[in-house]
Each structure stands twice: as C-alpha cells, then as structure tokens.
Structure 1
Amino acid sequence: MSHGSHDYADDPRNRDILIYINGAMKRREEATVSVFDSGFVLGDGVWEGLRIVDGHPAFLDAHLDRLYEGAKAIAMDIGLDREALTGAIYRTLAANQMHDGVHVRLMVTRGLKRTPYQDPRVVIGPATIVIIPEYKNPLPETAERGLKLFTVHVRRGYPDVQDPKLNSHSKLNCITACIQAYTAGADEGLMLDPHGFVATCNSTHFFIARKGEVWTSTGQYCLGGITRSNVLAVCREAGIAAFEKTFSLTDVYGADEAFVTGTFAGVVPVREIDGRVVGDGRRGPMVERIQSLYKAHVARDIAARKARSLSA
C-alpha cells in the first residue's frame, strides 16, 4: 500500500539504531517512555522532522525556530537551549555513525504526569526529549510518478479551535483526513479551510502551477512549512511568479501542474486529484525545475552549516 510522499524502502540497519531519550542512548527495543508521559496521555508536545544531508540537518535554524515558538505558545519549557539541543542531535548522529540518507524525528513532550489528567500543572518532571534517527530515503519513483490526492471532508480549522500553526503531537484531524484519503484509493488527503478554499494536505503542503505561475494557499490554515517557505523563496529567486493566495478546487482542477512539499521527500508531483488527471498525468516541466532549484537550495544550506562548524 502506498504511503504517499513518505514511502520509503525498509533499511535493515534501523534495527540497531540508538535513540536519544533525555540524554541517554537507548537501543530500539529499550527506547520507551512512561504511560504517564504527557505525549502519550494527551498528545501534549511539539515535534520536528529533520533531513540529514552530508552529516548535517538541513534548515536546522528554521526547524528550531518553529519548535521553540511552538513550545512557547503552549507554555512548555523544553529544558534545553538551542545550542544544547543542537548538540544532542549531533551526538545522536555520531552515536549511530550516521552521515547521509537519514531522517530524524525530534519530539518534545511536557513530561511525566502525576496522574493521567489534562491540567499541565500535574506534571512532575522535566520535558521528555526524544530523538529518533533512521536510515530513510524517499522512493525515487515517488518524485517522478507523483501522487493521487482526494479532497476530504475534514477541514483545517480556525486557530481559536486548534491553531494549525502548531506542529503538535495532537494530529487527529490529519489522521482522519489520511484515513478518508486512503480509503478512497488516494495517497494523501487534500484539505480545505473553513470557507471551502484549498488549505493544505494532511501531511504535506499543496501547490499548483497555472500559466507559468505557482500558487499555494494563504497559509492561514496550515502549518508554517519549512519546505513550503523554501520553495516560495527559490521560485522568486529564479523569477518564477509565486503567490500565497485564496483559490478553490475549480482552480485546482484546471491547473497545468500540481505538487506537494515536505521535509522528507522535498518536492513531489501530483498526477491526479479527485479522479481528475493533472496535466498529462506526468511530472511537468515546472515541477521538475522546482525540484532542481530546491535541491540546490538544500546544498547551499548544508555548505553554509559545514562552513560555520569548521570555523567554530
């Protein structure tokens, strides 16, 4: 069964990985947290996904910005400053002798609770920090063949209900969207905002190309995506007109090309939406160009981080 842009080939090396839990390195089978942990009890926490390229996490500064802003928004003390948390990430990679082709899941929850109850004040310890590194590369055919999307009934909600800007552990609305999409035979769910306009997908951000322009949603009802913002930046640098705007499914069905973005797979074409073939059903020239621009952008970020680490 397809898992959308997150499809990957199993790597046997992942059986022996060491996972960081609150400063300790644990073997996979020993890497556990308490049933009283806030993340398990209520999904109370924030997280980031990081792509490791040539020994370094791509766009780490932007990911840490989002992590610490999310923690501040929910009044959670991570317990480590940025430098210490960065050190923990690199220490985890070193413990596993990992250098490339790695995806890291960085998770922070509010920590251990005295009793399974909602109130954050019943936490009795520091935040729980988990860093899971895995050898995991997106399937090459995903970037070429593309995805099938299905517009789901589950909406991206107003920020006064649950702010879509928070990359929280509480992802049930996205999970129900995912269920509806794969039940309908699609790879991922296309989600609308409360007004019926296109917002995002259940685990990626959504773009269309029309008449030489690139469109994505206003961003009001989706996570502040790192790859999303990088794609907008590289398009504008390359002279491609790129807009954050309101648009409907009619605009989507008439698009020349469509694609999704995310940390794991980067830029992935979309070949079909709600049974309608996008373009000629194959990766188009705009998507192929943006994939190349984004790859170069990643390389520049990694080169800059390597230069900073050598001069430190």
Structure 2
Amino acid sequence: MMATSIHDFHDDPRNAGILIWINGALKPRAEATVSVFDSGFVLGDGVWEGLRVVGGHPVFLDAHLDRLFEGAKAIALDIGLDRAGLTRAIYDTLAANGMQDGVHLRLMVTRGVKRTPYQDPRVCIGPATVVIIPEFKIAKPETVNAGLRLFTVHVRRGFPDVQDPKLNSHSKLNCITACIQAYTAGADEALMLDPHGFVATCNSTHFFIVRRGEVWTSSGDYCLGGITRANVLRVCAEAGIVAREKNFSLTEVYSADEAFCTGTFAGVVPVREIDGRAIGDGVPGPMVLRLQQLYRGLVERDVMFRAGERLA
C-alpha cells in the first residue's frame, strides 16, 4: 500500500475561494501573500498553531492560545494582539468564510518584515505578521480507519539547549527530515527517539502504546506539549484508565497490544504496523476505539462550553 500522510485529505473545491486573514485584512486565497523579507520566509522565525473547528468553534482554543503565547514569549516575539484580539480574528475569519464544521485552521505569527535578509531580530522594521488560514478539510476516513504504518528514523528529538522541542516554531526541519526518511521507507509517519534511545514522538503527531490494559506515552521531555496528547491523558484519568508518561524502548513498542497517534487534525488514530512488525492484530483495538469515543465526547463538551461562553 502506498504511504500516505495522516494530514492527507480529500480536496474540497470550496477551498479555492477561501478568504485568508493577514494582519487584519481578509484576502482571497490567490492574493494572500507576505513579503519575501518576512522573518518567517527568510528564517522560519515564528510560532504557529493548528486548530480544528467543530460547530463553528475552534476546539480547545484556550490551550492553543496558551501554547502560542508561551512560544512567542520564549523567543521574545511581540504578537501585537492579545488573546481577545486573536479570538475575534479567528471568529471573524470563520464567519467571513461561512465555516462551521469540517474545518482546520492554521494560525501563524512571524516576527515580521526585515530590512535585509539577516537573522538578527533587531533588523525587523515593522510589527509581527499574523496569518489565519482556514480550510475545509478532514483527515481521510480510510486512513483513520485502516491505521498508520510507522518507521523509526535516525533523526532524533534533541536536547532543549539545542532547539527546545516544546517550542512550536516555524523551524521544523528536524521533523521534515524525519518525515522524508519515513515516507521513502514506505511508511506514513516517522517514529522518533530521544537522545537516550527511548521513544519520544512522531514527526507530526504524538505516540502512545497500550500494554496489558495500560496506556503509555513518552515522558514528554523531548516532545511538543501536545494538546490532543494532554486531552487523551485527561480522558484516561476521567475514565479510570491507567495512563503513564514514562521512558520505554522499541522492544516494548513492538510487543504492544495496541498503538496509536494523536493530533489536532485527526484526533486519535490507530497504528497498525511499526518497522515492519504488526501491532496487535493489525487492526484498531478495543482501547483505541474506546479512546476515540472518549475524545469525541471531550470535543463535544468543549464546543458546548465555547458556545455558552460566546452567548454570555
């Protein structure tokens, strides 16, 4: 079977006419551009968030904004808008596009335009560039139902004093090289180890295994503070499912009963094969199916809360 990304989706013709928010203006897709001197283009200098929209509301918005502002503060980037301003911009963009469901939104902030293409942030000559791209797209059901094939790559998640994995920056070359190695090996996603050889995460999702009724994920020391990851741990706690954040090796992965990945775009997605080894029966197992249901319930609760908050 041909390798496919978990972020693949069936093209929606409505996306050709979307309006994209750029620094307060809504631009047709064909006209939505930024300068070649923009810090994001020149150096990948910026932070971003991906959000899923359900019932007209960006799911887990507060957690996403927390991570965005924490990342911006870490790199001394002034977004130029507060949380309320960004929230209004997101809802205005959704309203302008008539979007309610089946939508994924990318919120991107760069340090802005430079007077010359050089890395020093002090050569920026204007405010941050803020972009909101909403698209009609959902993960391919056939991919979600069949499960992913992973390949363990040689590219590692590094120490935080090199580039902190907690920072959701535009500089994703580490993950991109991992992705390239995985798909050239015929897999859908890369499984990445930490500097000590323990399992860390995937190139664009977080990774879990199920062993003897327990849900395991990495210690979290070498991966992004995943919002879906945290929500899966939350629903496990609420449902009385033992969930552990710990170090574990590939040997324990290969003999796992089940495995799955998590991410904002696709939610909870089963893994059927890792490094040529079938995981469990090679089909979505009972724990994955249960967690998918529990996660959907949490999404519904968040949407109801957000709707009530907007009406208040």
Report TM bin, short chain.
over 0.9
1:262 aligns with 2:263: yes
Shift of 1:142: 2.0
Partner of 1:310: 311
| Alpha carbons 2:49, 2:107 under 8 Å: kept | yes
Query: How far, CA to CA, are the matches of 1:55 and 1:76 in structure 2?
Result: 29
Conservation of the 8 A alpha-carbon contact between 2:206 and 2:229 = yes
Match of 2:84 in 1: 83
With normalisation by structure 2, the TM-score equals: 0.99
Q: Find the counterpart in structure 2 of residue 154 from structure 1.
A: 155
Q: What do the CA deviations read for 1:109-162 (whole angstroms, capped 9, x no partner)?
A: 000001000000000000000000000011112221100000000000000000
Partner of 2:235: 234
Shift of residue 2, structure 1, vs aligned partner: 4.0
The match for 1:4 is 5
1:211 paired with 2:212, answer yes
**Counterparts in 2 of 1:275-290, with a 5 A limit?**
275-290=276-291
* Paired AA for residue 204 in structure 1: T
Give the AA of the match of 1:228: R
Rounded Cα–Cα distance in structure 2 between residues aligned with 1:14 and 1:230: 29
- Residue of structure 2 equivalent to 1:271: 272
Q: Is 1:40 the equivalent of 2:41?
A: yes
Q: How does 1:123-162 map to 2 (within 5 A)?
A: 123-162=124-163
- Residue 68 of structure 1 corresponds to which residue in structure 2? 69
Deviations 1:160-219 (A, max 9, x none): 000000000000000000000000000000000000000000000000000000000000
Cα distance between partner residues in 2 of 1:144 and 1:188:
16
Q: Where does residue 223 of structure 2 map in the other structure? A: 222
Aligned identity (percent) is 78
Q: CA deviation at 1:3?
A: 3.3
Q: Partners of 1:233 and 1:94 in 2: how far apart?
A: 31
Aligned amino acid, residue 231 of structure 1? V
Aligned counterpart, 2:98: 97
Measured in 2, the distance between the counterparts of 1:262 and 1:245 equals 19
**What is the alpha-carbon distance in structure 1 between the residues aligned to residue 78 and residue 148 of structure 2?**
38
Q: What residue ranges of structure 2 are gaps of 5+ in the alignment? A: none
Question: Secondary structure at the residue paired with 1:4?
Answer: coil
Letter in 2 for 1:66: R
TM-score for both structures, normalised by structure 1:
0.99
Q: CA deviation at 1:18?
A: 0.3
Letter of the structure 2 residue corresponding to residue 157 of structure 1: G
Corresponding letter in the other structure for 2:36? V
- Quote the Cα distance in structure 2 between the aligned partners of 1:141 and 1:303: 28
Q: Secondary structure at the match of 1:107?
A: strand
Shift of 1:236: 1.2
Q: For 1:139 and 1:120, how far apart are their aligned partners in 2?
A: 40
- The secondary structure found in structure 1 opposite 2:26 is strand
Counterpart amino acid of residue 123 in structure 1 = C
The number of equivalent residue pairs is 311
Q: Distance in 1 between matches of 2:64 and 2:283?
A: 32
Structure 1: state its 5+ residue gaps. none
Q: Structure 2 CA distance, aligned partners of 1:141 and 1:281? A: 15
Q: Distance in 1 between the 2:4 and 2:210 partners?
A: 24
Residue in 2 that maps onto 1:194: 195
SS of corresponding position for 2:6: helix
Secondary structure at 2:9's aligned position in 1?
Answer: coil
Query: 1:251 and 1:2 mapped to 2: Cα distance?
Result: 25
Other structure's SS at 1:288 match: helix
CA distance in 2, matches of 1:142, 1:303: 28
Q: Using the alignment, how far apart are the partners of 1:298 and 1:216 within structure 2? A: 21
SS of equivalent residue, structure 2 residue 87: helix
**Residues 109, 129 of structure 2: 8 Å contact kept:** yes
Matched with 2:56 is 55
